[in-house]
Structure 1
Amino acid sequence: MPYSTKQQQAILTCLEARRDQPVSAADLAAELRRSGRPVGLATVYRQLEKLETAGCVHKVNTEEGAYYQYCSHPDGDRQQDCLLLKCEHCGRIIHLDCTHLQPLYEHLQREHHFTVNHRRTLFSGLCASCAEKEGPDGGQ
């Protein structure tokens, strides 16, 4: 990211500290205010848009609204295949680096003329912890 403002860096630092939790722009603004680094909500949205474009964060659109999550790729490797896994039970979103999906992306492009945006790919299912709690028969 060639140019970074203090506000943008504060937002990125806050997201990085919560790397395993997606956060809304409003929650992010509130957390920054509590930590003594107040940033207006409109500014948070603008900076999140820039950070998403730069590949530093993922934007996750849900029924409850948009959430943002830190992307842990090193600066020079932002285009690496990554995706998000959302647990349908606990709501946890896991950032995953996985090149094993590349053959699927290529198949969809070649056979179905559809290009997957891996930066916005979100798979739903159960995380290991929730799957273990539910047991093999789906009950608890």
Structure 2
Amino acid sequence: MSEADNLVKLLCENGYKSTIQRTMIYEILVENKDKHLSTEEIYELVKNKNPKMGIATTYRTLQLFEEIGMVYKHNFDDGLSRYEILSPNSNEIHQHHHLLCKKCGKIIEVKEDLMNSLEEIIEKQYNFEILNHVVKFTGICGQCRNKENENGNRKET
């Protein structure tokens, strides 16, 4: 099944029509699947393809995509909502983790989920069924640390 077919199928299953605007936004998300684009960044990319499309349509479409489980909205504490497309074939309900560089703003995905054993402990100890978790690590990426070390700006510990 093609990505466009997945879009149409998911929209229909949830009682929505497939529109040109929704398709364009979906294509932008697919083309940038390894990035965490903000609404404004998505809008700018869509506007290059369709200058008549408004930002309100982009906001509404992303909200719809989030409601029906096509995208995940991240908050990386930068004042923007950032979106990541979810794989239609994935049965994984947990989100992966992210490393956030406080110097350059780079977002690095951590593919491994090391939280499973901690979740089991928490579920048993608190009699609580965990459905999902969000983990963000903040720090300084290797590139920024290397620049600091080259410039002598970082104190050795």
TM-score by length of 1: 0.70
The yes-or-no answer on 1:106 pairing with 2:100 is no
- State how far apart, in whole Å, the 1-side matches of 2:31 and 2:117 are: 33
Task: Judge conservation of contact 1:85–1:95 (CA < 8 Å) in 2.
Answer: yes
Question: Counterpart amino acid of 1:101?
Answer: M
From 95, 103, 109, the equivalent of 2:109 is 95
Worse-matched range after superposition: 102-111 or 40-49? 102-111
Number of residue pairs aligned between Structure 1 and Structure 2: 138
Deviations 1:24-78 (A, max 9, x none): 2123222211223643222212221232234433322244423323246352334
What residue is the counterpart of 1:52 in the other structure? 66
The yes-or-no answer on 1:9 pairing with 2:16 is no
* Aligned CA distance change for structure 1 residues 126 and 96 (closer, same or farther; 3 Å): same
Q: What is the SS of the residue equivalent to 1:117? A: coil
- State how far apart, in whole Å, the 2-side matches of 1:71 and 1:107 are: 30
The percentage of counterpart residues that share the same residue type is: 26
Q: What is the SS of the residue equivalent to 2:30? A: helix
- State how far apart, in whole Å, the 2-side matches of 1:50 and 1:121 are: 24
Question: Counterpart amino acid of 1:58?
Answer: Y
- State how far apart, in whole Å, the 2-side matches of 1:13 and 1:57 are: 12
User: Gaps spanning 5+ residues in structure 2: where?
Assistant: 1-6, 12-17
- State how far apart, in whole Å, the 2-side matches of 1:126 and 1:101 are: 22
Higher relative contact order (CA 8 A, sep 6+): 1
Larger CA Rg, structure 1 vs 2: 2
- State how far apart, in whole Å, the 1-side matches of 2:108 and 2:45 are: 21
* Aligned CA distance change for structure 1 residues 35 and 21 (closer, same or farther; 3 Å): same
* Aligned CA distance change for structure 1 residues 81 and 106 (closer, same or farther; 3 Å): farther
- State how far apart, in whole Å, the 1-side matches of 2:70 and 2:135 are: 15
Question: Counterpart amino acid of 1:93?
Answer: I
Aligned 1:62-81 pairs, distance under 5 A: 62-71=76-85, 73-81=87-95
Please tell me the root mean square deviation across aligned C-alpha atoms, in Å.
3.2
* Aligned CA distance change for structure 1 residues 81 and 60 (closer, same or farther; 3 Å): closer
- State how far apart, in whole Å, the 2-side matches of 1:78 and 1:7 are: 28
TM-score by length of 2: 0.65
Task: Judge conservation of contact 2:93–2:132 (CA < 8 Å) in 1.
Answer: no
